[in-house]
Amino acid sequence: MDKIIEKIKNNQRINFNEAVKLYDMDLFTLGELANKKREKLYGKKSFFNINRHINPTNECKDICKFCAFSAHRKNPNPYTMTHEEILEIAKKAISHGAKELHIVSAHNEKAGIDWYLGAFRKIKELYPKIHIKALTAAEVNFLSESNNLSYDEMIDLMIKNGVDSMPGGGAEIFDEKVRAKICKGKVSSDNWFKIHQLWHERGRKSNVTMLFGHIENRENRIDHMMRVRELQDKTGGFNAFIPLIYQKENNYLEVKNFPTSQEILKTYAISRLLLDNVPHIKAYWVTSTVNLSLVAQEFGADDLDGTIEKESINSAAGAKSANGLKLEEFIHLIKDSGFIPVERDSLYNELKVYE
Residue 97: inside a domain, yes or no?
yes
Residue 100: inside a domain, yes or no?
yes
What value does the mean pLDDT take over residues 225-241? 98
CB-based contacts of 339, cutoff 8 Å, min separation 6: 44, 45, 46, 297
Number of domains in the chain: 1
Give strand pairing partners of 51: 100
| Contact yes or no for 334/304 (Cβ under 8 A) | yes
Residue 130: inside a domain, yes or no?
yes
What value does the mean pLDDT take over residues 156-175? 96
pLDDT per residue as tens digits for the range 273-288: 999 999 999 998 887 7
Residue 151's domain comprises 19-340
> What pTM was estimated for this model as a whole?
0.90
Residue 6: inside a domain, yes or no?
no
Residue 260: inside a domain, yes or no?
yes
Residue 1: inside a domain, yes or no?
no
For 50, 53, 165, 223, the CA distances from 95, given in Å and listed in that order, are: 11, 15, 22, 42
pLDDT per residue as tens digits for the range 99-140: 999 999 877 788 899 999 999 999 999 999 999 999 999 999
CA distance 105 to 119: 12
pLDDT per residue as tens digits for the range 169-196: 989 999 999 999 888 888 999 999 999 9
97: domain CATH number is 3.20.20.70
96-100, 141-145, 202-206, 321-325, range with the lowest pLDDT: 321-325
Residue 352: inside a domain, yes or no?
no
Positive/negative CA dihedral, 325, 330, 334, 337: negative
Residue 106: inside a domain, yes or no?
yes
